[in-house]
Structure 1
Amino acid sequence: MAVIPLPEATSVVIVGAGPTGLTAAIVLAEAGVDHVLIDRLHEGANTSRAAVVHARTLEVLDGLGIASTLVERGIEVPTFKLRDGAKTLATIEFGDLPTAFPYALMVPQEVTEQVLLDRLHALGGAVHRPLTVTRVAEENNTVTVEYTDEHDRRGTISADYVIGADGMHSVVREQAGIGFTGDTYPTSFVLADVGMSWPTPRTEVSLHLSPEGITVVAPLPDDAGVRYRVVATVDDAPAHPTVDDVAALLNTRGPGGDIRVDKVLWSSRFRVHHRVADHYRAGRVLLAGDAAHVHSPAGGQGMNTGIQDAALLATLLTKVTAGEPDSVLDSYETVRRPIALDVVAFTDRMTRMATVQSGVVRAARNTAARLLGRVPAVRDKLAYQLSELGNH
């Protein structure tokens, strides 16, 4: 592949070519806004990390002309179940949601990224990589971005605006001096894609509660129908969970029945933070995605919130570059930061509720979940919140 040289100046520099950065680049490219998208990795991720695309995100991606392509490559899952062992505490159905996408779409993140990248390429855009940002400084009504390439050669590009979509450890956020307030959960998380026999239908995502921790099991697309995503809290998880590790988790916490883990396709251990940037904007520097907010994976909200951040931010930037006042960008934080705070609070409640240790509290929680799960208004509200339709 030919290397496309970087210009010395552009309207918008986007740092980070994950789903958030790619979405921003697509919106700018569609509007004809000059931009440069850079990333520190040699190539896009080939592991599936985020695995669910919710209804509101599909609506956003539909506006970019790629929702149908993504749907073709995923599994439509219309049901979310809350379980404690073999007991079903609550069933949330997405089928009646007021959307053209009344389901959770299960699709590995590398597929989502590839679909986004293909769309960007079709619009004439590109990702410049591997480039590591070393300095971001606003001066003389522009932002200077300094970077190094894989051979430690230095370069500089100036821009009217910079979008930091470079993840939780964002260099852009740090350079802008924006705080990242929050904390870290004491337990670690296991993340694994496995091939297995699982006793519940592939039309549901299940959240399993247990004294040992929270466990989420969701189907992923594959021809044999045996690929699943497993996310679980573990006090001290191994760096790369094995077949035996995952099998022990599921046999201890799962619904019982025929559970057989045949292979681990990919696995990892990670720590989870719940943090939100103190501001989404510092002058000509703006944050989106994990650079602006991180939280528990319960509910699968992270990548979705980031894509929605990027779509709004890039739309506002197209207005400013077309001549509208710079103050238009202030609405980005006004709209999106409260949504991130709500998502962090919601996923934190889910995580803490799922991991209570006391038998008395656990029994009370289960009773409350069963009773509330019988109330249609409660079920509908949870479906609406999980789908992120309220973020519009």
Structure 2
Amino acid sequence: MNAAAPPAATRVAIVGAGPTGLALAVTLAGAGIDFVLLDKLPEGANTSRAAVVHARTLEVLDELGAGAELVRRGLPVERFTVRHGGRTAAEFSFAGLPTPHPYTLMVPQSDTEAVLLDRLRALGGGVHRPYEVTGAAQDADGVTLTLAGGRTLRARYAVGADGMHSAVREAAGIGFPGNAYEQSFALADVTMGWRPGRDEVSLTFHPDGLIVVAPLPHGRFRVVAVMDDAPAAPDRACVQDLLDARSPGQARVERVVWGSRFRVHHRVADAYRAGRLLLAGDAAHVHSPAGGQGMNTGIQDGYALGRAFADDRLDAYEAGRRPVAERVVALTDRMTRLATLRNGPARAARDTVLPLLSRVPAFRTRITTELAELNYR
């Protein structure tokens, strides 16, 4: 936590110190650009939330000087498996991808934020907490942010990295069209015996909804399941029942370390910039957790926007990143709808075609390259 109050003026005000805001701040700090990073929470979140870091994001973190430490903390996983109950329907490997990181890194979001924050501090920066932005007004020369309690901050530009309910996006008057999925998601980090082991991320199809099991560091597993009405805090019995129903005979849950529920939207902001107000991360796009794309896209937004400031090419930011968000939202929507099919004939067609397609090397490479976000370099 930064004990000092924020200054009265800066070049770039960043609202939100999650992974997106931190990535932007580290990029600006490395380029010698003056900024102020604000967050309304008194301290960073200590829950795991997003737990997947893909190859392209690791390449970006390498550029920022944070990649090696995050890899040290995480668990590299090379294989992604689609299952029906205990039967394997398709396997995809990241091992042959053209990247220094041919795997997906499983690591709690709290670690990702901690590594980025450590890097920011090493560069002389920090986060001012807790400062909530309640309004933003721009003029020809800059932006005035109003903070809770009446304090103001003057900046040449302000960036909303403040999530789906972004105060900056609202102040900019930028639309955020899209919809919510009907189902809710249960999320739990657990210790358990899992028959497929710790060398893969497993996505299991089931008529009641998909369930994803992924290994985490320290012997834990992440379980994500679609439910019609997920409990606020899934307990051991809930997670065990889900696994028994959808992956029978595969799991024995010992303990729930942390659990939550969430509902998912698929939305892309109409624009990433309105004058001197800009958007990044969940303020600009939200989508299904299928494929673990959200935090990765946000970190890459932050890096791209920081480079746009450094290179004095702000107009290139939206042109480069908004199409990526549209593509990610479309991909995760297709994955979610494919995995949550309720219609019997449609499920049967999926279950027949996917194993056949997965035997085609070009198809496997296309899927892993897209998931790893290597197309977005």
Task: Give me the TM-score of the superposition, normalised by structure 1.
Answer: 0.95
| 1:269 maps to 2:261 | yes
CA RMSD of aligned residues (A): 1.0
Distance 2:15 2:31 in 1: 19
| 1:207 maps to 2:203 | yes
1:307 is matched with 299
| 1:288 maps to 2:284 | no
2:132 corresponds to which letter in structure 1?
T
Query: Quick one: which of 233, 237, 240 aligns to 1:244?
Result: 237
Distance 2:347 2:2 in 1: 59
2:369 is matched with 384
| 1:234 maps to 2:227 | yes
SS at match of 2:177: strand
1:363 is matched with 348
SS at match of 1:180: coil
Distance 2:210 2:236 in 1: 19
Q: CA deviation at 1:84?
A: 1.3
Distance 1:219 1:282 in 2: 41
Q: CA deviation at 1:5?
A: 2.4
1:104 corresponds to which letter in structure 2?
T
Query: Quick one: which of 360, 363, 366 aligns to 1:375?
Result: 360
CA contact (8 A) 2:2 2:129 kept: no
Quickly say closer, same or farther: Cα 1:221–1:2, change in 2 above 3 A: closer
SS at match of 1:201: coil
Q: CA deviation at 1:257?
A: 3.1
Structure 1 moving runs of 4+ over 6 Å: none
Q: CA deviation at 1:360?
A: 1.9
Q: Give identity over the alignment, percent.
A: 60
Q: CA deviation at 1:71?
A: 0.4
2:74 corresponds to which letter in structure 1?
G
Query: Quick one: which of 183, 187, 209 aligns to 1:187?
Result: 183
2:167 is matched with 171
Q: Deviations over 1:209-262 (max 9, x none)?
A: 11101111100000xx2x1011111001111111011111111112x3341111
Distance 2:275 2:344 in 1: 51
**Superposition map of 1:54-65 within 5 A:** 54-65=54-65
Distance 2:252 2:329 in 1: 34
SS at match of 2:76: strand
SS at match of 1:127: coil
Distance 2:270 2:188 in 1: 32
2:157 is matched with 161
Q: CA deviation at 1:58?
A: 0.2
| 1:221 maps to 2:213 | no
| 1:338 maps to 2:323 | yes
SS at match of 2:188: strand
2:150 corresponds to which letter in structure 1?
R
1:91 is matched with 91
Q: Which runs of no fewer than 5 residues in structure 1 stay unpaired?
A: 321-327
Q: CA deviation at 1:380?
A: 0.5
CA contact (8 A) 2:169 2:279 kept: yes
Q: CA deviation at 1:336?
A: 0.5
Task: Give me the TM-score of the superposition, normalised by structure 2.
Answer: 0.98
Distance 1:213 1:258 in 2: 17
CA contact (8 A) 2:291 2:371 kept: yes
Distance 2:140 2:250 in 1: 65
Q: CA deviation at 1:363?
A: 1.3
